Amino acid sequence: MRRIVDETEDHVSEAILRRYLDGWTRICVSTEDTVAAMISSAHPDIRFADVNSAKVHVGHDGLRAICSLATSIYDGARIAYRDLLFDGFN
């Protein structure tokens, strides 16, 4: 399983980060493929705190839960990133 952080160099490759963020752009229209892209790029112990809730989602099951919630509450919404700052460059 690929992780968002490269354990040997302690940084995120741009390709992995873009694949992970691409899954987030589709969080409200989640499919098996977009959830799998997020999970394959995320560390197994990832933590996500929802600003609208006291709940903290943990791990790959947490990502699955977030995708399910977002799709059921905000079905069809899209997230767009403008410039991606990566290692000081965009």
Q: In the chain, how many domains are there?
A: 1
Give the closest residue to 55 by CA, choosing from 44, 65, 45, 67.
Answer: 65
For residue 87, what are the β-bridge partners? none
Question: What per-residue confidence (pLDDT) applies to 6?
Answer: 43
Higher pLDDT, 83 or 74: 74
Instruction: Read off the pLDDT of residues 34-58 as tens digits, 9 standing for 90 and up.
Output: 888 888 878 899 888 877 778 899 9
Alpha helices in the chain (DSSP H): 14-25, 32-41, 59-73
Distance CA 14, CA 20 (A): 10
> Does residue 89 sit within a domain?
no
Question: Domain residues for 69?
Answer: 14-73
> Does residue 6 sit within a domain?
no
Question: What per-residue confidence (pLDDT) applies to 59?
Answer: 93
What separation in angstroms does the CA of 9 have from each of 50, 62, 63?
A: 29, 26, 25
> Does residue 85 sit within a domain?
no
Q: Does this model's pTM top 0.75?
A: no
> Does residue 82 sit within a domain?
no
Token reading at 31 = 């499919």
Name the band, by pLDDT with cuts 50, 70 and 90, for residue 11. low
> Does residue 40 sit within a domain?
yes
